[in-house]
Chains A and B, each alone.
Chain A
Amino acid sequence: MFVKRFLILAPFLLLLVLLQSYFWVPSYEEQTRGNPGRLEEFITASIGDASLLNPILSADSASSDIQGKVFEGLIDLDENLDYRGRLARSWDISEQAFFYVRPEKPVPEQGAMSPDALLNFLREQVEKSGDYPQPLQESLENIAALSLDSPDKYQASLSLAGQDDPQVFQVEPPDRIVLDLLEVDPELFENLTLLLGEAYFQEFPAFRHVRSESDLDPGQLKAAASKLLPGYEHNPVIVFHLRDQVRFHDGHLFDAQDVKFTYESIVNPRNLSPRVSDYEPVKAVHVLDDLTVKIVYKRLYSPALMTWSIGILPEHLLNRQALDREAESRGKDPDDFFMRDSRFNRSPVGCGPFQFETWESDQYIRLDSFAEYWDGEPNYASYAYRIVPDLLTQEMEFYAGTLDAYSVQPHQVERLKTDPRFQSFSGTSFGYTYIGYNSRREPFDDSRVRRALSLALDVDRIIKYVLYGQGERITGPFVKQTEYYNQDIKPLPYDPEKALQLLARAGWTRNSQGWLEKDGRILQFTLITNTGNDIRKSILAIVQDFWRRIGIKVSTDTLEWSVFIQERVNKLDFDALVLGWNMGIEPDLYQIWHSSQADPHELNFVGFDDPKADALIVDIRQEYDKERQIEACHRLHEIIAREQPYTFLYVSKWTALLDKRIVIKDLDADGEVVYKKIRPTKTGDYSFYFNKWVKRPTVPDFAAE
């Protein structure tokens, strides 16, 4: 019977044809089957797509991943997290400082001095090796040159409190003495007061040199003047010596103009660069010659150097003429066409190890190795960045050999870490999760209460059960694997008894129903966090339980992210919250911990306010000497750990899997090719030598090592 045979045979044959194709497709073990180019390509995946492939316009993680391959900065961090020159061969940090001369002010033992006399007096002090105290002696030895300078008058505008329009001021600065320093010297003016007398710099009468066009009362004028014309200024200077013969992917030579252009693009308000605040302290960028750039800062700001790791843009493709040409060829109005509108952001050109090839939105971005990369062409011929929004799909693609790396979820670590098919790496991340207390509110204004709340939590068990052990205790606000973190501070133990004692000292005792009570009020508050993060949600419930055990009435709430941030955090309307910070390497804590940053919409939303901590925070961002910076960080860490404005919970660990056939290919002393196993750096970064990676057809044997 034909119909019956057809109805049965047709699907059977169809399936047979389909199924036999299995023997043709590459499998994990045989990735080169029908695909010989597979070994030349590194494939990785991301949850989300990149936004703009322009290092100054976007800061999301997918865009940054690609920008890191396509663009190159002046410097970056080496395996020990020290600075390393990239496009810059080397750099010198010096300082130029100046102060305004006050002829009317008598100098101790010298009397009133004219500017010239003062200059000569200071010169003498620098030249003669006087018997001054050590710090002043050092400051004097650090002075390379002194000069006198009469600045021009200028106009400045300033917004005053309570007024909408900025006021215009005429500034007529007096003569000033300019000091060229060999090294940055934050204590210079403090030490010079030994020579010039107390308050020579602090009490500089700026209002005598500033005139306002409108009527201002003397108090207002004084305040505005001291803002416009401080008596002295530190101007740290970085001079970068750039590498010669470095080319962009289009063959154009890289030079100092590109650095200047990159800086100008960032600070150009039309570009709305998210990185603009990093460059606000820059006073000016000077091109000294084709391969030398000088950057002058407005004030002491030690995180400055790291900001030059930003990818350098090619000026010739993005300057005004280039943008005008592009606008014209696309039929747009050149007057309304800026860097954000340029096609460059979807097909970038940099001088990094990989050059841009294609970008299929929501599918993949592909880069090719750049043969003329100054540090040697990467071993991989291409780099593919897939957008795979689903984690399970990512995992499956990794098992099938169409992804080379996979970030393991905490619950899978135990199972996959020892899997013989893969090589695994793990480390601690640069961020931490914490409980923050609103110290403006009762009872969190008492550090004993905050400490008791921390003592009542068994954080080790949270790590064990919520994070499947993939976390570590953290005690303070610095990145744990850096030297800034004070390893001597031990995490608080789980000790509910001691917590109750501390609370009793703060006046909270248990009432007949078991709740803690003080002056007839029960200790109760709300702990909140955002929705969409299951780990934080679990922490919420566990913490609530721990605190209830010692008699604290805690209620919890989860809010949608934008509501959480805009309505509660930014408006400082919360008791306690669970949240996390991601940190950079730089130890600058100004925005999160300085008491001046505690207003609504600022990041010190817990209202941490400690004068000693404030002083240390300012010192840290002004200190250019790493040893002293580390010392200050350790002291700051101690204060924060003692005050417990947060309960620092944990820093999570990450684990990544890599195909075992990926190895480091290098040349030994005789020029022979050698294959080495990939080893992470001290800080856990396993992809540090990515440009030397390559995939082998089989798992290499490292027994010889």
Chain B
Amino acid sequence: MFAFLARSFVQKMVTLFFVSIVSFLIIHLAPGKPSQIDPMNPKFTPEVMERFQKEFHLNKPLHQQYLLFYSGLLSGKIVSWKDSRPVLPKIWERFLNSLPLFIVGTILTWTISFPLGIRGAIFRGGWFDRSSTLAAYVLISIPGFFFAYLLIILVVSSLHVPVIGMKTFGLQYSSVLHWIMDHLWHLILPSVLGASAGVAVLSRYVRNQMLEVEGRDYVRTAVAKGLTPDQVHYKHALRNALLPFVTMFGLILPGLIGGSVIIESIFSWPGMGRMAYEAILARDYPVILTVNFISAVLVLTGTFVSDLLYMLVDPRIRL
């Protein structure tokens, strides 16, 4: 057990090191320059650009830039080029904004998908299965931004209420309750949108996984024992079908930081995804690289957690 932990830790550190190098190289090899030193930008004179180059260490060789950046990151001193604010507090602030979206979206996805998928598997080929399959494929294939716009237009033109942003603009609240309710209302559309795509995919997985399990001997035994259908499907069958979802559950961690670029952009949600997207457009290297680094850490942590979870749910697995 301890040996596994140690081995796994070393492996992950090595991976992280390579990720840091590769992402650093990709950013610098990508076309385009930080907007502060873009020669096409008429706002900047050559002197200003030179000053920025120096300030951002862009005039130094790549390996030195690499060392400067990561030592800055690890000591927490790295600042965004766009607004000169420290990157870590900036990310933390945006992360807190993204968190409610993530939590509501995850709860909805990881609850609704199971009853949907299981019912589809039990009554395979029935009307419920067919219509849920159709709905799932519609949701998977419809482009997210398009669906988002449809929903926004529908809600705004029928209800005449604001849905953009994290709260109603300029609201000077008459009570705390109004504050809470306003924030809740603005959560609905983006989180439901995010969840709808998740439900569509996950319920398909659940259905397939359940189909595989439902034909097994122990399920037949449970039915023969005279257990209620719910007990058969939700206890005996589901437990054995759960294994692959453990991996998937570990991998939702990085979703925390990536957020949803498209949804956050459309809804002007000041979250992580939108920040990363805007940083890429402005070639704000410190922000891009930090977000990249943190998500790499989260992916590795996620796989590590799912390894541990495996051990927990499947006693046959020994690490």
Contact = CB atoms under 8 A, between A and B. Distances in A.
B163 A400 contact: yes
A1 B230 contact: yes
B108 A22 contact: no
Interface in B149-187: 149, 152-153, 156-157, 159-164, 168-175, 177-178, 180-182, 184-185, 187
Given A4-B115, A402-B168, A27 B174 contact: no
A138 interface: no
Contact of A400 (B162, B170, B231): B162
B83 to A, nearest CB: 6
Contacts, number: 137
Nearest to B152: A396
A35 B174 contact: yes
B15 interface: no
A20 B181 CA distance: 8
Contacts of B111: 6-8, 10-11
Nearest to A9: B111
A18 B193 CA distance: 14
Contacts of A7: 111-112, 114-115
Given A18-B187, A36-B174, A10 B107 contact: yes
Interface string B185-222: 10110011000000000000000000000000000000
A363 B166 CA distance: 12
Interface string B104-120: 10011001101100000
B185 A3 contact: no
B40 interface: yes
Contacts of B149: 392
A699 B87 CA distance: 48
A37 B192 CA distance: 31
Contact of A18 (B104, B159, B174): B104
Nearest to B278: A362
Contacts of B181: 20-21, 23-25, 34
Given A22-B161, A27-B159, A35 B169 contact: no
Nearest to B184: A21
A14 interface: yes
Contacts of B108: 11, 14-15
A38 interface: yes
A43 interface: yes
Contacts of B178: 24, 34-35
A25 B182 contact: yes
Taking residues whose C-beta sits less than 8 angstroms from the other chain, chain B's interface range is: 35 or more
Contact of B157 (A15, A22, A399): A399
A386 interface: yes
Contacts of B168: 25-26, 35, 402
B268 interface: yes
Nearest to B169: A402
A43 B177 CA distance: 24
Contact of B238 (A3, A38, A363): A3
B177 A400 contact: no
Nearest to A403: B169
A343 to B, nearest CB: 13
Contacts of A51: 43
A242 B191 CA distance: 58
B171 A35 contact: yes
Interface in A18-63: 18-29, 34-38, 41, 43, 51
Q: Name which of A6, A11, A51 has the most chain B CB atoms within 10 A of its CB.
A: A11
Interface string B254-283: 000000000000101010000000100000
B147 interface: no
A526 interface: no
A562 B234 CA distance: 64
A388 interface: yes
A29 B162 CA distance: 12
B184 A18 contact: yes
B107 A14 contact: yes
Nearest to B83: A361
A652 B170 CA distance: 33
Contacts of A21: 180-182, 184-185, 188
B160 A27 contact: yes
Nearest to A43: B170
Contact of A3 (B163, B164, B169, B234): B234
B75 interface: no
A1 B228 CA distance: 9
Contacts of B107: 10-11, 14
Contacts of A23: 181
A15 B163 CA distance: 16
B185 A396 contact: no
Contacts of B162: 25-26, 397, 400-402
A22 B174 contact: no
B130 interface: no
Given A3-B235, A402-B168, A562-B40, A25 B173 contact: no
A34 B182 contact: yes
Nearest to A38: B170
A393 interface: yes
Contacts of A26: 161-162, 168, 171
Given A15-B108, A18-B185, A25-B182, 13 more contacts: A1-B230, A1-B235, A3-B235, A10-B111, A11-B108, A22-B185, A35-B171, A38-B172, A363-B270, A390-B266, A396-B163, A400-B163, A402-B164
Nearest 4 CB-CB pairings of A with B? A24-B181, A34-B178, A1-B230, A28-B160
